[in-house]
Chain A
Amino acid sequence: MSGDFDRVSVVQLGRHYGRRRALTDISFTAQAGMIMGLLGPNGAGKSTLLAILGTLLVASTGRVEYGDVTAEHGGAGLRARIGMLGHDLFLYPELTARENLIFFGRLYCVADVEGRVAAALERTGLAARGDDPVSSFSRGMRQRVALERALLHGPRLLLLDEPFTGLDQASALALVGRLREEQARGVITLLATHDLDVVDGLLTEVVFLNGGRRASAGPAHGPLRERYREAMQP
């Protein structure tokens, strides 16, 4: 089953480890062209939710639907349409930026790998450093390469876990620009972050998480900081 999808629906999703609840009764739908923010304090369950959406974890209760297909039935075809930028970046430090991108490109059966990789390196502005090992890059540079890795195969669903960590102003703006480009192409983006100021204005939807549950929506408009503060009130 390798059909494309235009929305991702999370239905009463729960995940627990023994007697510790990580997520409880989470439901929402994200459509193509949306940039949805997952906002919440540390330990709210944002990373767990992203891992489940990326098929890395299985939900304990509830389900995720990618269009009409659930995660168990999606298989490899589904994974081909998901791109993820993890907290730990998913890049081999000993390999060069180019080698990393080519490896993952080939793994994802991307057509014309070398061409696409060259274009991706151009976009990061790191074409000159393309043949340096990733371990020699700063966090911001690694982030840019990691993002291109996640986007190389043209995924429909993009999952980002704290992508603005350790980024300077310029890199953060570049990331925002890149996300807007993908949004225009109809990609569904889910983004977990603490950096409210940077994403204010970027996000089309927001889901607030607290202690594994969806916190109340708070005011629908206004500065993100205000909305966050409202939502986190007990």
Chain B
Amino acid sequence: MTTAVKIQLAVATLMFAVAPWIVNAAPHEATMGLVYKIYFFHMPSAWMFMLAAIVSGVTSGRYLFTKNPKADATAVAAAELAVLFGLLALVTGPLWARKAWGVWWVWDARLTSSLMLFLIFVAYLLLRQFGGPGSEKLSAGLALFGMANVPFIYVSVNVWRTMHPKTSVVPTLPVSMGIPLWFCVTAFLLLFLALLSLRSLLERQRGRIDALYLAEDEA
């Protein structure tokens, strides 16, 4: 673990420990009262999910065209984080919906788009696990396509959703809710970076072990 990662983890842990108080201090929102505060964890999760998806897509593209194993290591690490943060977003979303409007699932544009992108990265992990040898390249192709698909998924789900009459009204929360939101976003970002570094390192080391096996075999 490098110093940078240690610092990231330490600060992130500290921030998460303090977070409940900060979130508590945020003002109550007009229509939903206390419940909306899950948003402070939901939105950073969703952002980290998107960030992970983009990182995975970009590094996959690099791997596909340069065959650099480091790029592949980062790609798979980011894909796993995409699934992790995506899961967090998809769990906190319905929890919020349940408390706010009494339903577990709302065909909200963002929730549904996230679900689709989440499925793509689950498929990525399934492919790597069950695809047999050579699946690193194939999953790289999948991640690249997934990333290219993000705007299409969002637009199509968004327009689709607005065409549907809804039983409840989703209020659009202002993006900037001040300090609590940015605090949580920073905490999540530090956690994301730390996990990405650690997991990429793990993957590179796995490659190095394979190389050592090969070298030992030669001796």
A joins B in a complex: yes
Question: CB within 8 Å of B: which residues of A?
Answer: 16-19, 21, 24-25
Residues in A with CB closer than 8 Å to B133 are 17-18
Q: From residue A57, how far is it (CB to closest CB) to chain B in Å?
A: 10
The 5 closest A-B pairs by CB, nearest first: A19-B213, A19-B210, A17-B133, A18-B210, A21-B217
Once bound together, how far apart are the Cα atoms of A19 and B210, in whole Å? 5
Residue with the highest number of chain A CB atoms closer than 10 Å, among B210, B213, B214: B214
A24 engages B210 (CB within 8 Å): no
List the B side residues contacting A16 at CB < 8 Å.
210, 214
Give Cα A19 to B133, complex, Å.
Answer: 11
- Show 15 A/B contacts (Cβ-Cβ < 8 Å), sorted by A: A16-B210, A16-B214, A17-B133, A18-B133, A18-B210, A19-B209, A19-B210, A19-B213, A19-B214, A21-B214, A21-B217, A21-B218, A24-B217, A24-B218, A25-B218
Residues facing A in B112-168 (CB within 8 A) are 133
Q: Which residues of A contact B214 (CB under 8 A)?
A: 16, 19, 21
The chain A residue sitting closest to B218, CB to CB, is A24
Question: CA of A21 to CA of B210 in the docked complex: distance in angstroms?
Answer: 10
A60 → B minimal CB distance (Å): 9
Complex Cα spacing A215 to B214, Å = 19
Nearest-CB distance from A59 to chain B (Å)? 12
Shortest beta-carbon distance from A210 to chain B in Å: 14
B67 to A, closest residue via Cβ: A58
CA A24 to CA B133, docked complex, whole Å = 19
B209 to chain A: which residues have CB within 8 Å? 19
Given contacts A18-B210, A19-B214, 10 further A-B contacts (CB under 8 A): A16-B210, A17-B133, A18-B133, A19-B209, A19-B210, A21-B214, A21-B218, A24-B217, A24-B218, A25-B218
B 178-205 binary contact with A (CB < 8 Å = 1; else 0): 0000000000000000000000000000
In angstroms, Cα B209 to Cα A18, docked, is 10
Q: Report chain B residues within 8 Å CB of A18.
A: 133, 210
Residues in B neighbouring A21, C-beta threshold 8 A = 214, 217-218
CA distance A21 to B216 in the complex (A): 11
Of all chain B residues, which has the CB nearest A24? B218
A16 to B211, CA, bound (A): 9
Minimum CB–CB distance for A17 against chain B, Å: 5
Chain B residue, CB-CB nearest to A58: B67
User: How distant is the Cα of A25 from the Cα of B213 in the complex, in angstroms?
Assistant: 16
User: Residues of A contacting B210 with CB < 8 Å?
Assistant: 16, 18-19
Q: Which B residues touch A17, using CB under 8 A?
A: 133
Instruction: List CB contacts (< 8 Å) of B52-82 with chain A.
Output: none
Q: How far is the CB of B45 from chain A (nearest CB, A)?
A: 34
Q: How far is the CA of A24 from the CA of B213 in the complex (A)?
A: 13
Cα of A25 to Cα of B218 in the assembled complex, Å = 9
